[in-house]
């Protein structure tokens, strides 16, 4: 089964966290870099990835997005790509001795989990949060485990993209820039039906 990325909802909810601004920007950069790198490895066509400021009830906050050109991807691979963000942000925190219960909560990314459940349900692929995997489906725990393994395997590429995001004046990279950083081609977009 495949899912069309043009149909994905945005379920992010901004919040407050215990990290410094620099730590927060870095954790978001690693999160978005993991989406970008894992997605490209699954054949998804990356448009851009970025970290940017938002106004949350009159207070400046930080967030990030990774956007895709029209792409088809296997359903379970989509779940892995979505789970990879939190896995990479958690590894960044752990590697920098910043991982606590409160910082782990900041990078848990329930919006990615909710997006995976919603998008895959529309594609007819059941993704459940816990319990046994449904027939012809999976659990979010399985996706998280596969994502953590993939993040570990691709850590040097994820780090290169995260560092590129952090160092850039605009904190934004195009798909071609990410491709150059990690040494794999950015897949061509999937043609859409007319």
Instruction: Output the tens digit of pLDDT for each of the chain's 194 residues.
Output: 343 444 444 434 445 568 888 999 999 999 999 999 999 999 999 999 999 988 877 878 889 999 999 888 999 999 999 999 999 999 999 999 999 888 888 888 889 999 999 999 999 999 998 888 888 899 999 999 999 999 999 999 999 999 999 998 889 999 999 999 999 999 999 876 55
Q: Is residue 193 part of a domain?
A: no
Collapsing DSSP to helix, strand or coil, 15 comes out as coil
Q: Domain with 158 in it: what CATH number?
A: 1.20.58
| pLDDT for 61 | 82
Which residue in this structure is represented by tokens 């725990």?
Answer: 141
- Domain residues for the domain of 115 are 2-182
Question: Quick one: tokens of 48?
Answer: 């851009």
At what angle are helices 21-41 and 175-182 packed, to 10 degrees?
A: 80
Q: Is residue 189 part of a domain?
A: no
Q: Is residue 187 part of a domain?
A: no
The distance in angstroms from the start CA to the end CA of the chain is 21
Task: Give the count of domains, the chain.
Answer: 1
| pLDDT for 47 | 96
């Amino acid at each position: 089964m495949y899912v069309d990325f043009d149909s994905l909802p945005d379920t992010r909810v901004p919040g407050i966290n215990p990290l410094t601004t620099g730590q927060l920007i870095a954790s978001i950069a690693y999160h978005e870099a993991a989406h970008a790198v894992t997605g490209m490895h699954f054949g998804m066509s990356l448009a851009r990835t970025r970290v940017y400021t938002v106004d949350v009830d009159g207070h400046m906050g930080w967030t990030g997005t990774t956007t895709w050109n029209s792409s088809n991807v296997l359903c379970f691979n989509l779940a892995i790509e979505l789970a990879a963000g939190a896995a990479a942000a958690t590894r960044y925190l752990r590697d920098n001795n910043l991982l606590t219960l409160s910082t782990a909560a900041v990078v848990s990314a329930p919006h990615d989990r909710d997006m995976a459940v919603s998008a895959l349900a529309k594609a007819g692929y059941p993704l459940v949060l816990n319990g046994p995997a449904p027939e012809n489906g999976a659990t979010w725990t399985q996706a998280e485990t596969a994502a953590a393994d993939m993040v570990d395997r691709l850590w040097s590429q994820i780090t290169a993209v995260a560092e590129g995001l952090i160092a850039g004046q605009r904190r934004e990279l195009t798909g071609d820039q990410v491709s150059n950083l990690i040494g794999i081609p950015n897949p061509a977009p999937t043609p859409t039906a007319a």
